[in-house]
Amino acid sequence: MKTTLEILQTAKRTAGLAAPGTEQKNRALLAMADALTAETDDILKANAVDMQHAAGRISPVMLDRLRLDESRIASMAEGIRSVAALDDPTGRVLQEVERPNGLRIQKISVPIGVVAIIYESRPNVTSDAAALAFKSGNVCVLRSGKDAFFSASAIVKALRKGLAAAGINENYVNLIEDTTRQSATDLMTAQGLVDLLIPRGGKGLIRACVENAKVPIIETGTGICHIYVDKAADLDMALNIVDNAKTSRPSVCNAAEVCLVHREVASAFLPRLWERFRDRVELRGDAAVCEMIPAKAADGEDFDTEFLDYIMAVAVVEDIDGAIAHIAAHSTHHSESIVTNDPAAAERFTALVDSAAVYVNASTRFTDGGEFGLGCEMGISTQKLHARGPMGLQELNTYRYVITGNGQIR
């Protein structure tokens, strides 16, 4: 077994080598996809071991996320092929100036270096993350959840076979072999070896990283998203947007958890919301809401909870500033939406709500790399530095200034 430190040292060395060009990377990605398909049997065997270990220990929903079959592996391979088709984000000249002293200063996009990803038990994250990191020129170090470890190992083995078949250093894709908590801590504290750590998972994982990481991290994915129904809202539209944002896929981070309603339209809107949701979504209301509809009384936690379920907290606000203040106090800065036909209200909301994605008259469910036209995503950043919202290939690059002179001194 390789230790985490050994794997990181190899990764760092690999990141220092001359990087493959776009054509080489694309060829390698296709070979990785082919290898994944070719190794389907081994991957399914490994997955069966994971499933057996996990049976009875994790929920049916989590078990289903863990389970692979031929078609799921085929779609992982397809995912890799689609990354090959995306533009290479590296080597772009982002800015170029020639200074009066003759120095030419170019700002050029370059890979970040060693990107570590800590995730949970979805085996497809293994191939998705590896493909995105590789296409953007990074060396990835994957740390799978324990439940999916054998699946992840088989997938990484296949991906590395693909790299080797394409004549590329297989150490571009690495899997941490220690599945104890220690290896997560090792990644968080690997200063000088990990250039970026991306935690992909639940609140506990993200919080542990924020609390303990000494390497740069990007927080992803916790979404307490709000829909604010303004007094100038089209209530039919509002109802459709709230319904879609809450129920189209409640388990994802861009699903809405909270609905805020302007006092002047509350008595018109809330009974319709109650009708729409009554058998499908549990509404938890503040006092004003509970006076108007038979919602369950919300407790103190409900406005700070990412339910990821058919539950929605609902509050009445005095006006748009009340909505903005509520969001400032409770949001995770992921996605919020205002439903309004008043341009001034829309402008105030988008100017003052400090979230990665702020919507006017649309569902928060669109905060997604594919929906934004990025073609893919590594996660949704909810922090403000470096990348905000869906992180595509460009967000997996940094830049370097290259300055060319002919002897300039200062």
Is 129 one of the binding residues for its own copies (CB under 8 A)? no
Sign of the C-alpha dihedral, residues 142, 146, 150, 155? negative
Should residue 267 be labelled a site residue for its own copies when binding is judged by CB under 8 A? Answer: no
Cβ-based nearer residue to its own copies, 288 or 310: 310
Helices 181-188 and 4-15, packing angle to 10 deg:
40
Query: Is 300 a residue that touches its own copies (CB under 8 A)?
Result: no
CB of 382 to its own copies, least distance (A): 12
- Per-residue DSSP letter, 217: B
Residue 205 near residue 237, CB atoms below 8 Å: no
Q: How many CB atoms lie within 10 A of CB 100?
A: 5
272, 243 contact by CB (below 8 A): no
- The number of angstroms, rounded, from the C-alpha of 140 to the middle of its chain's C-alpha atoms is 16
Cβ contact 85:111 at 8 Å:
no
In the bound state with its own copies, the residue whose beta carbon lies nearer, of 99 and 181, is: 99
Secondary structure (DSSP) of 34-53: HHHHHTHHHHHHHHHHHHHH
Q: How far is the CB of 383 from its own copies (least distance, A)?
A: 6
Minimum CB–partner distance for residue 314 and its own copies (Å): 19
| Burial class of 406 by CB neighbour count within 10 A (0 to 12, 13 to 18, 19+) | exposed
What is the smallest separation between the CB atom of 18 and its own copies, expressed in angstroms?
7
Closer by beta carbon to its own copies, 170 or else 243: 243
| Cα–Cα distance for residue pair 90/393, rounded to 1 Å | 9
How far from chain centre, in Å, is Cα 228?
A: 24
Task: Pick the stretch among 74-82, 151-159, 299-307, 386-394 that binds its own copies (CB under 8 A).
Answer: 386-394
Q: Tell me how far, at minimum, the Cβ of 48 lies from its own copies, in Å.
A: 34
CB of 191 to its own copies, least distance (A): 7
Backbone CA torsion sign across 327, 330, 334, 337? negative
Q: Are strands 114-118 and 139-143 parallel, antiparallel or unpaired?
A: parallel
Residue whose CB is less far from its own copies, 44 or 324: 324
- Closest CB to its own copies among residues 61, 409: 409
Smallest distance, its own copies to C-beta of residue 371, A: 7
Structure tokens at 70: 């031929």
Is 392 a binder of its own copies (CB under 8 A)? no
Residues 178-237 that bind its own copies (CB under 8 A): 191, 195-196, 210-211, 214, 216, 218, 234, 237
Residues 309-338 that bind its own copies (CB under 8 A): 324-325, 328
> By CB under 8 A, is residue 5 in contact with its own copies?
no
CB of 196 to its own copies, least distance (A): 7
For position 409 contacting its own copies by CB under 8 A, the verdict is yes
Q: Which of the ranges 3-11, 53-61, 244-252, 295-303 carries the binding residues for its own copies, by CB under 8 A?
A: 244-252
Q: In whole angstroms, what is the distance from residue 113 CA to residue 193 CA?
A: 9
The CB-of-147 to its own copies minimum distance in angstroms stands at: 29
CA distance 98 to 373: 33
Q: Which of residues 86-125 bind its own copies (CB under 8 A)?
A: 97, 99, 103, 105, 110, 112-113
Under the binding rule (CB under 8 A), the answer on residue 240 touching its own copies is: yes
Binding-residue total with its own copies (CB under 8 A): 71
> 63 or 352: whose CB is closer to its own copies?
352
What is d(CA 342, CA 232) in angstroms, rounded to the nearest whole number? 6
Q: Which are the contacts of 165, defined by CB distance < 8 A and separation ≥ 6?
A: 31, 34, 35
Query: In terms of residues, how long is the chain?
Result: 410
Among positions 18-57, residues that touch its own copies (CB under 8 A) are: 18-19
Closest approach, Cβ 330 to its own copies, in A, equals: 11
Which listed residue (22, 82, 185, 383) binds its own copies by CB under 8 A?
Answer: 383
Token pair for 77:
């391979």
Note whether 380 binds its own copies by CB under 8 A.
Answer: no
Q: In this complex, which beta carbon is closest to its own copies, that of residue 158 or of residue 242?
A: 242
Q: Are 254 and 223 contacting, i.e. CB atoms less than 8 angstroms apart?
A: yes
- Residue 260: half-sphere exposure toward Cβ, Cα within 13 Å: 27
